[in-house]
Amino acid sequence: MPRDRRLVVVANRLPVARNRAGEWEVSPGGLVTALLPVVKARRGAWVGWPGSTDRGSRPFLEERVRMRPVTLSDAEVRDYYHGFSNRTLWPLYHDAIRTPEFHRHWWRAYLEVNRRFARAAARTSRPGDMVWVHDFHLQLVPAMLRELRPDVKIGFFLHIPFPPEELFAWLPWRKQVLEGLLGADLVGMQIASDARNFSRLAREFAGAEGTDTELYIGRRKVRIGSFPISIDFDEFNSIAEHPETISRAKEIRRQVGASRKIVLCVDRLDYTKGFDSRLRAWENMLEEGHVTVKNNVLMQVAVPSRESVPDYAAMREQVERTVGRINGEFSQPGQVAVHYFRRNLPRHELVAYYRAADVMLVSPLRDGMNLVAKEFVASRPDLSGVLVLSEFAGAAREMRRALLVNPRDIDGLVQAINGALKMPRQDVRQRMAILRMVVRRHDVHAWAAEFLEVLNR
Ligand code: ADQ
């Protein structure tokens, strides 16, 4: 990894948040785990929203990283974050699974907040720094920052899919968004098809010329590439090997009935994650006798998310109704058909669940990558457990030894879950060993190093 340049990360959120006692604490999550050590090693800085609407936060030093908070007003949180980011861009970039809403006042807030982030990044950077901008909230920052600071290297990484022309063309501000991204020296996407979509659209709507991997805006070159994000394999692996995790996993199995096979699902409560069709598949399997509550249980762990957005509230209600219906129909005393937990689990508890599962079912309708699939295999040093994975998760491109499914195909889901439950032990071990090798070789540290190496060229 290039060591010379300082690194400034620009992301919607700072990597630290205030705890109950009012002290700054490192936030959990893959991106922070991956990037904070890199920023630290390069004596760099991080620009982001601290997560509250208090005014007047000054830059401060935490974790040996210079933090520059960007403040947002309540109206900006509503219009830029809940509005344009979560109700325009998020659904548009995820196959329009919900109808994106287009409002000019949301766009104006997005523009204004992006400008504030760009100014903060410009003030934080020194000549020659690398500035790495993250995700769909901040797509205008690269061009705005270039205007202010043509002397820094600018990288951008999108964590969610980049949509095809048929969808992206709906966006009334499509040209501005493309021009915003083209301000970067390097635009990174999760998978090759996202990168291709972006390059084609940049040529079509923003006057860029060149190939799918190298575009020119006048004489300035913009590199485009795919950089599939990953996880800290060693961290998950070592938590999974810890004796306390092993005994907690056994306890979970005992609690649901030691002889019952566990099908586990872990997702943010989001309409992209495919809750509905997977629950319908499970219901179908119970109805048709492929599985019984005596021998099988589905566990759905769901982390609450974006609850102030109406589509999310409606979706949560629907999930809870469906779980209720299935349990009403099939549960027996002491044996529920679906265990549903709506909560955030601490990391070691999450890994104990991963270790307790016989089958991990990850069936999003569309997902940039999906880290849960990678976390699951990293948590299985015992080489058991089968991964059933949606073709529409970016992770499916690398994790070919999972059982790949079309999440909208209920019969296909039933078949895959059945196949996973009945898979011979030898086959399970072989698949898991290969999946683990794939994720171990390409962990989140390799991901960050690769991106920065290309940016530094
Ligand atoms: P997300 O849509 O949030 O991320 P994902 O990649 O699966 O999706 O990450 C979810 C994270 O939340 C995982 O690290 C998981 O462990 C954690 N999590 C889920 N349920 C939990 C629970 N109940 N308790 C505790 N933790 C829980 C976005 C994109 C993805 C992309 C990532 C990273 O939508 O496609 O993979 O960013 O780029």
Those residues with Cβ within 8 angstroms of residue 223's Cβ, 6 or more apart along the chain or in another chain: 185, 186, 187, 213, 214, 454
**Atom number of ligand 1 nearest to Cα 395:** 36
What's the 221 CA to ligand 1 centre distance in angstroms?
33
CATH of region 7-230+445-456, choose from 3.40.50.2000, 3.40.50.10860, 3.20.20.370, 2.60.40.10: 3.40.50.2000
Ligand 1 in reach of 189 Cβ (< 6 A): no
What is residue 3's predicted lDDT score, i.e. its pLDDT?
A: 54
What's the 164 CA to ligand 1 centre distance in angstroms?
23
183/442 Cα distance (integer angstroms): 28
What is residue 19's predicted lDDT score, i.e. its pLDDT?
A: 85
Given 94, 134, 137, 159, the catalytic residue: 159
Q: How many residues are given for the chain?
A: 457
Per-run averaged pLDDT (10 residues), the chain, 457 residues: 78 91 83 84 92 77 93 96 97 98 98 98 96 98 98 97 98 98 98 98 98 96 98 96 98 95 96 97 98 98 90 94 98 96 94 98 98 98 98 98 98 98 98 98 94 95
Ligand 1 in reach of 448 Cβ (< 6 A): no
What is residue 389's predicted lDDT score, i.e. its pLDDT?
A: 98
Q: What is the pLDDT of residues 225-263, one digit of tens each?
A: 999 999 999 999 999 999 999 999 999 999 999 899 999
Percent of the chain with pLDDT over 90: 88
What is residue 4's predicted lDDT score, i.e. its pLDDT?
A: 66
Domain ranges for the chain, please list them: 7-230+445-456, 233-441
Ligand 1 in reach of 47 Cβ (< 6 A): no
What is residue 125's predicted lDDT score, i.e. its pLDDT?
A: 96
Q: What is the pLDDT of residues 424-439, one digit of tens each?
A: 999 999 999 999 999 9
45/67 Cα distance (integer angstroms): 6
What is residue 55's predicted lDDT score, i.e. its pLDDT?
A: 61
Q: What is the pLDDT of residues 4-24, one digit of tens each?
A: 689 999 999 999 988 888 888
Residue 159 annotated among the catalytic residues of the structure: yes
Ligand 1 in reach of 7 Cβ (< 6 A): no
Cα atoms in the 13 Å half-sphere on the side-chain side of 108: 4
Complete DSSP assignment for 57-85: PPPEEETTEEEEE----HHHIIIIIIIII
Contact 299, 289 (CB under 8 A): no
CATH code of 233-441, in short, is: 3.40.50.2000
Give the amino acid at 79. Answer: D
What is residue 454's predicted lDDT score, i.e. its pLDDT?
A: 97
Q: Per DSSP, what are the bridge partners of residue 335?
A: 332
Using CB atoms within 10 Å of the CB of residue 112, give its burial: 0 to 12 exposed, 13 to 18 middle, 19+ buried.
Answer: middle
pTM attached to this predicted model = 0.96
Ligand 1 in reach of 232 Cβ (< 6 A): no
Using CB atoms within 10 Å of the CB of residue 251, give its burial: 0 to 12 exposed, 13 to 18 middle, 19+ buried.
Answer: exposed
Domain 7-230+445-456 and domain 233-441, same fold? Reply is: yes
Residue 105 annotated among the catalytic residues of the structure: no
What is residue 38's predicted lDDT score, i.e. its pLDDT?
A: 85
Contact 236, 380 (CB under 8 A): no
What is residue 108's predicted lDDT score, i.e. its pLDDT?
A: 98
